[in-house]
Structures are given as structure tokens and as C-alpha cells.
Chains A and B, each alone.
Chain A
């Protein structure tokens, strides 16, 4: 039975910045550019492989050669639809491509093929959790498919610029949110949530370092109460003038840029000046945003329908097929983990953050104690992986091996302390836990006679400690430790505890 999603949550408090004239709130909307995880480009058969020799993944159409024509890659369309379904969005069976015209050397056609007027995906939503029971519902306005540009390289030669067209024409999904985000942390969490959903779906690998996920952030400030007026009326005049900070590919930069930009705008307004709507760039070295182009140079993109492409018409049945093959999404998985395995909100969040981790956990937890499995994965495994800087996909110990350790504990073959040793050995050597326990003779001593003998010996050798323990029963733990030491850690701790208590008359 599928877990029932608990969608009751409280909205987080908006970020408030105190200015000289009173409090200010932030209003943020994002345009996230996600590279479609397709092997070929949006309108050509050229490869999308990252890191190839410059200008080696370029078809004639990508290079804007005369007479070349674009042909839509159906796989990219399917991935965009899948993303839309994952964001619970309207899928438009009829969409169309437009040309966005501007001159730049890394834009060989002199225009980017995009979808201004009729995007393939319409309104959807994303739930962005900011803590247990606290989440922001962010409305998605649209997702459209478009071509990426190439790369201009200006620092290789003092007099010349170079252009690499490998990225030219790679498919991007531009995911446009409504201005529903109210603080820098929320913005980063929103991007993280999109990334998580798309990685679950397999529609974008979300690698921000390689530029596969980038964000343009629209920031404005308003007085407390204004945002609520906007929400009631959807009238933007209640909000402040926004600035767009372009092309950020790090969660940290997104937060820093928003923080800086909000304070810059507040300072302007409080100074009696006004915010000019413009495009700005974030300079991570100086931690500030600066104007990208002046109004005089403002681009007029002269959008118009691309006459080389017919409208994109897809069938509802095809969309239904994609929908029926949709994987379990993060929110549902988390709810199921909490319901089926009794996990806390926090543990379930961490375990579902990455699909591979969730898969690993589920394999370990299958038929076992879910909470114990979660503890082992979260504490032992993740701790060890973090130490080595390994991702879960490179874990030297598989889920089946970790499961064996849990089974050995459940059968009282080993205790928790030995289990950790076995884990470490298995992690570093790749040996099977069962084999380690057998070969190393780590099987737990459950023979009460042997344990009793060890307890008696410790008591006999430490009369002074016995007196102290009788006065202060908390000191019984010392005897337990000594017995464990004497048995090489293999004694069943429960049996030792009971015997020590009995012998000391506690």
C-alpha cells in the first residue's frame, strides 16, 4: 500500500532584514536552467558529452552553417515531459519554438531556439522543506525547452578570443518559478529540491560544477504585509522593483548573492534612490553583485516563432505512458520511509536526499529492523564514506554486506561493538562479514558459565571497587567494562550486565 503523503505543514517565516527605516522582507523568484540528460543535442545528433576536445561535438547545424536545419530530438521532449510530471505540472500537448535573436560569437545561428509563447510544460509546484513540518510551496510557472550557447574563452590570448561550440545546442530546461521564495536559504533549498527531483527522474544529472544546473535569481524587497497583498491580488505593484542576478552555479553563491542584493536594494531605497530593474552578475571574489549591462544596451531579443520547426504536438497517450513509468519521487519516498520503517523526519530526509542512498538503505532495511538499518547507514556508513570522500555509489561495502552485519547482531552472533569492528574490516578489505566473524573468531560469548567466571575473577581481584560500587551502583559499569576487556569484547553485554548486578547484589 502506498504511503499516504502528509502534506500538512507550516510555511517558514520570511527572511527579515532590519533597515534604518524599519523591517524589510525578501521576494525571490528563480529561473533554473537544467541540462537535459540526453546523449544528443536538442536539434542535432551531436554528442553532449562533457569534457570533450573543444569543437569536437559539433554538427553543421550547431555551427550555424548555411542552409542547415534543426530537427527536434524526441528524447529531450520525453525528458522535459517527465520533469513536468515530476513537478506535478500541466503538460501542454501543443507547444512551439521561438527564436531569441542576439549576436554573440558563441551563438552561431545568431539566435537561440527557445519557447517563449508556448512552453511544453505549464503550471506545477514544488514543496521545499525547511525543517520538520515546515515547508514552502513554490509554484512553477512554466518549463520550456531551449538550446544552450557555446563557450567563449577570453583569457587564452591577450589579443584573441576563442569559442568552443561543444555545448552549443545542448538541451536545457528552463524552470521558471513564481516569486514565492522568501529568503536565501529557501532559494538554495528550492534549487536543491529541483535537483533532487530531477536526479530521481533521471532527467538532469544536476552537476552544478559542470554547469549542468544554473540559476538566474530575481530579487526584490518589500515591507512586511506587502507580500500578502500581492498574494491576494497577484498584483505585482505591491512588490518592489526586481533585479535579476544571472547564471549562478553554486548554492552558496545563490545565498550570498541574494543576501547582498537585498541589502543593496534596501540601502538604495532608504537613501531615497530607487532600484533600477536590470540584470546583474555576482562576483564571488568580492561577494557583491554588479550591473551587467546598461539600459542603453538593453537587448531586444525580437522573439518570433521559428519557421524552421513545426509546432511540437504530442499525444496524451504518450504522456500517460511516461507518467505510468514515473519513479517514486522524493516526497513520497520520504513519507513511505517514515511510515514503513518508523524513521524520524530528519533521518528520512537524509536517506532520501540521493536516490542511490535511498536504494542502498532500502536494500539494507528489507526484512530487517528499519530504524537499526537507518542508524547504521546514517552513522557508520555515511560517516565512513564522508571521511574518505566517497559517494555512496563508490561504497566499498555493499548493502548486502551491511545487511549481513545486522543479521549477525540480530542472531546475537556478535554484539554491537564487534559489529563495528567487522564493519571496518569489511569496509577496508571487501571481505564478507560472515567470513570475518568466523575466521577471526569474533563470535559472541553467550555461555553464562564462562562469563560468570570472568565476573567472579574481576570481583575477586578488586575488593575496593566492590565496596565503592555497593555504595554507588552507577560504578557497576566499570565492572562490565573490565569483563568485556577480559573476554576480548566478545561477551554478550546484556548477560554481563545482569551477572555483574547480581553478583554485586545491586
Chain B
């Protein structure tokens, strides 16, 4: 056991069961790695005491029949409410907020024996694609271009989660995905991330961004680890009315790598103008790998794809504008200092002006606008109709026998931090172009690292599956993973 922190969850689980290693040792190794990685700014709140306690408890009950995650050290995205531990959604407005409750996902993970190392950086309220909207400052991608020490984004919004997993600070992490916030950072950092079917994982206790799109999922070193984590995170929760009352299969047991006879669709609308050659060729390579693995490849059409991004940037801000209304300075978090004579309106305005960052304010304003009397039908209602059409595109593809859809995960490799600072915000939104359709349709989607670009940066491919068939999707991803054989790691510079 030379480098405990680079173990996969599956390998660590087996080593823990055999007694080759203790959770305490694993946990200490991670805590040491975290302390040495402040330059990555991945962890925004470290919880070593909790981690050591949980590790000791895990070691006390370890054995052959301990749950898969018993003693496995994880990082938790700051969007999850963790009892007694700061949970701020990387926002100033939640300064000092420590929930008195535990989100369903983290409760399930801890009940399964997982160890929490701390809270992970993210874009404020999960709004962003580069982790640059965080009140804590951005996390940094452990990957660098060859011969170039420009700091790169780990992607967003789950940028801290992606950086931490890629840099070996934790064995896995929780993420959330509203428009691509798991899959894009996974692709930027050479790891695997799955957004499950909407309703598969409880949203209770996860700070809401856009309720009809938000879904939590795992970020991990490989497909098997994602399968193990997802099984522990998923399940029906009576506290979340949108959570599905369906059994959770043993996803790991479904990983055979056999996809012979499966039909993989290649949607022509995902071939965008100005798409870099490297993305194009990676996608072609993925198609070949699937074919070699025995799948049947078909070209398909998802005709409403081009309307997805605009529809998403109506629906998501609309819901966000309402979800974020509760941050008013009245009950918790930050309240602005008021001047003599200030009333309730001034308290709201000052608190929200200083508590929310620019991107959050932009989206709250867009959302408020599109829901306003006189604009509702033109924007929100139309976006809802577009959403229904996008969903129908997928349903038709699946009805025609397609088992999974292969697309690029992102339109580029990780870009430099600050590079988009002066760009039109829409340029940043374009990062989500391949991923938002999946959220709008409520489908499961997974990003798998599939190659490096010319500058040595990881690139990911996305597979989109049928609703509730994450097991089948993970197995297809597993076949892709085996074919791609992506083993590169970022060189340690931090």
C-alpha cells in the first residue's frame, strides 16, 4: 500500500475487508493529502474530527459483511446540508449557516459507513461552469497543459468535487447536476460522473437551484466506483415528493462489460459548428470503440436539441429566482448592516445585493423577468413546451430501439481560469450545450474519460440512457471505459 489515496473505492473496500488497511489509515492519508493541496482550493471546509470519528466507527464494525462504503473517505459538495457542519452553497448569503439536519444523500452515505473529509468547493448555488462564482474563490484543476503552468478550471459547478477526486484527496465525492454540473467537471478532470434519472436520488437537504432539474450523483475514479456510490445515494425518500418509489438495483453487479447487441445512437444535432477537431475525433473514436465491443451504431436525430440551451436558461433561472427568495436575511445566514431608518425593503435589497454574487444575481433577475406578468407565456411557458418536445425526441429514439446515446461531454477541454472573465455570459453557458438536454428530459447521463487532447488534457464522452436504467447505462459506460483504457493521471504540482 504505497499510495492509499489513489485507490479506487472498490479496491479500498476489498483491502478494508481483508484487513490490509484500516479506515483510519485511509482517512489519515486523505487528510494529509488535503492539507497538502490547499493550492487546489477544493476543500472549503475540512472536517478532520468528524472524519476520524467516522473512520474509527467504521473500523469497529469492519468485516466481510460491512457495507461497501464502510470506512471509505469521501468529499461532500457544499450544496449538501450536513448537520452541524457549514453548508453554504459557496455563497456569502449563507455565512455561518450550519444546518440542524442531514441531507438524505449524506445520511444514507454515512449510514453505509462512509467517512466525510469535508465540504467541497463549487460555483455559488451551483450556478456556473468554471467554479469561479464561488465565494471561496475557484478550485483549481490538478491537470495542466503540457509545458504550461496556466491554472485551469476544474469545471463547474461541482468543480471542487472533481478536483478532489482527480487529485487523490478523497476516494469519491458527491456532486449535483442541474445542467451538466457533474458531467462537465468530470470530463475536465479525467474522472467519471453520473447524473441519475430525475427522481432516483432524493433532493431533501440539498440546497435547491432549479428543483425540476437538480439531481445529485457520484463523482468517482471509474465506472465501478460510480456504481457503488450511486447505489448508496439512491432510493425512494418520502420527504421528497419527486423521488421515485422504485427499487435500487445492485448497479455494480450489472457491470459485465458485455454490450453485444446493444444499439447506440449518435445524434446528428450534437455535431456543432465550430466544434474542435479533437472533440469530433474523440466522438468518432468512441463510436468505433462501441462498435468494436459489439454494439450496433445508428445515426439518430434529436431535432429539438438546438432549443435546449435557451429553454434551459429560462427554466433554470425561473425556478432559481423563486428558490433563492428565502435568502432574505430574516432567519439565518447573512443580514446586511442597516442604516438608520432602513425598513424591510432596504434589508432585503442590501442583504441580497451583498450576499449574492454577480452570476446568481444575473440568474435571479432573468428568472424574475421570465416569470413576470406579460412575459410568462412568451418565455416560461414556451420553454416548458420546448422541454416537452426535447423529452419526446429522446422517447422516440428509445422507442426505436436505441439503448444509449453517445455524445461528447463538453465542447472543449478545461479552459484557463479567468479566460472567460470578460466574455459574454452566454459563452460560459455554451459549456452546457451537450449536457442540458439530459436534465431537461430527466434522463440519466454519464461522463467517462476517453482520451487526452494534444495539450495532454483529459476529454470525456457522454452516454445518455433510458430513464431508470442506470444499471444498463453504467454497463455501457464500463464497456467504453475498458475500451478507452484511460489511465493518465495529472502530474502533482501542488
Chain A residues near B (Cβ < 8 Å) = 60, 63-72, 99, 101, 103-105, 108-111, 161, 163, 300, 302-304, 307-310
Contacts and interface: CB of A to CB of B under 8 A. Distances in A.
B371 A304 contact: yes
A67 B81 contact: yes
A69 B207 CA distance: 10
A310 B242 contact: yes
A70 B211 CA distance: 12
Given A300-B373, A307-B211, A308-B211, A67 B325 contact: no
Contact of A108 (B210, B242, B331): B331
Given A60-B100, A307-B212, A67 B205 contact: yes
Contacts of B481: none
Interface string B70-87: 000000000011000001
B492 interface: no
B212 A64 contact: no
A63 B331 CA distance: 8
A110 B203 contact: no
B325 A66 contact: no
B215 to A, nearest CB: 12
Q: Which 3 A-B pairs have the closest CB atoms?
A: A110-B325, A302-B371, A307-B212
A302 to B, nearest CB: 4
18 contacts: A65-B99, A65-B331, A66-B87, A66-B97, A67-B205, A67-B208, A71-B239, A99-B322, A108-B326, A108-B331, A161-B344, A163-B330, A300-B373, A303-B376, A304-B319, A304-B371, A307-B210, A308-B211
B331 A64 contact: yes
A109 B371 CA distance: 17
Contacts of A66: 81, 87, 89, 94, 97, 99, 207-208, 326
Contacts of B380: 304
Contacts of B239: 69, 71
A67 B206 contact: yes
Contacts of A308: 208, 211, 241-242
Contact of B241 (A60, A65, A111, A309): A309
A111 B325 contact: yes
Interface SS of chain A: loop
Interface string B82-115: 0000010100001001011101000000000000
Nearest to B373: A300
B88 to A, nearest CB: 9
A309 B376 CA distance: 20
A304 B330 contact: no
Interface string B365-387: 00010011100100010000000
Nearest to A297: B345
Contact of B325 (A68, A103, A161): A103
Contacts of B331: 63-65, 108
A64 B242 contact: no
B409 to A, nearest CB: 26
A101 B325 contact: yes
Q: Chain B contact residues (Cβ within 8 angstroms of A): what range?
A: 35 or more
Interface string B301-327: 000000000000000001101101110
Q: Which of A60, A111, A308 has the most CB of B within 10 A?
A: A308
Contacts of A71: 238-241
Contacts of A99: 322
B445 to A, nearest CB: 20
Nearest to B214: A307
B132 interface: no
Contact of B344 (A69, A105, A300, A310): A105
B204 A67 contact: yes
Given A65-B99, A71-B238, A105-B328, 14 more contacts: A66-B97, A101-B322, A101-B325, A101-B371, A103-B328, A108-B326, A110-B326, A110-B328, A300-B372, A300-B373, A302-B368, A307-B211, A310-B241, A310-B242
Contacts of B486: none
A65 B325 contact: no
A310 B99 CA distance: 26
Contacts of B204: 67-69
A440 to B, nearest CB: 65
B297 to A, nearest CB: 36
Interface in B335-350: 344, 348
Given A67-B81, A68-B204, A72-B241, A302 B322 contact: yes
B136 interface: no
B332 interface: yes
A161 B368 CA distance: 27
B119 to A, nearest CB: 14
Contacts of B376: 302-304
A70 B240 CA distance: 7
B348 to A, nearest CB: 6
A371 B87 CA distance: 71
A355 to B, nearest CB: 35
A65 B330 CA distance: 11
Contacts of B80: 67
A220 to B, nearest CB: 22
A104 B331 CA distance: 12
Contacts of A103: 325, 328, 348
B211 A64 contact: no
A61 B454 CA distance: 50
A11 to B, nearest CB: 37
A72 B242 CA distance: 12
A105 to B, nearest CB: 5
A309 B239 CA distance: 11
Nearest to A99: B322
B312 to A, nearest CB: 14
Contacts of B373: 300, 302
Contacts of A161: 344
B99 A67 contact: yes
A304 B94 contact: no
Contacts of A65: 99, 101, 331-332
Given A304-B376, A307-B319, A308-B241, A67 B326 contact: no
A206 B87 CA distance: 43
Contacts of A302: 321-322, 368, 371-373, 376
Q: Which of B241, B368, B380 has the most CB of A within 10 A?
A: B241
A111 B348 contact: no
Contacts of B210: 307
Interface string B190-233: 00000000000001111110111000000000000000000000
B326 A69 contact: no
Contacts of A309: 241-242
A243 B197 CA distance: 48
A67 B325 CA distance: 13
A308 B202 CA distance: 11
B122 to A, nearest CB: 14
A436 to B, nearest CB: 59
B233 to A, nearest CB: 15
Nearest to A43: B241
B179 to A, nearest CB: 15
Contacts of A60: 100-101
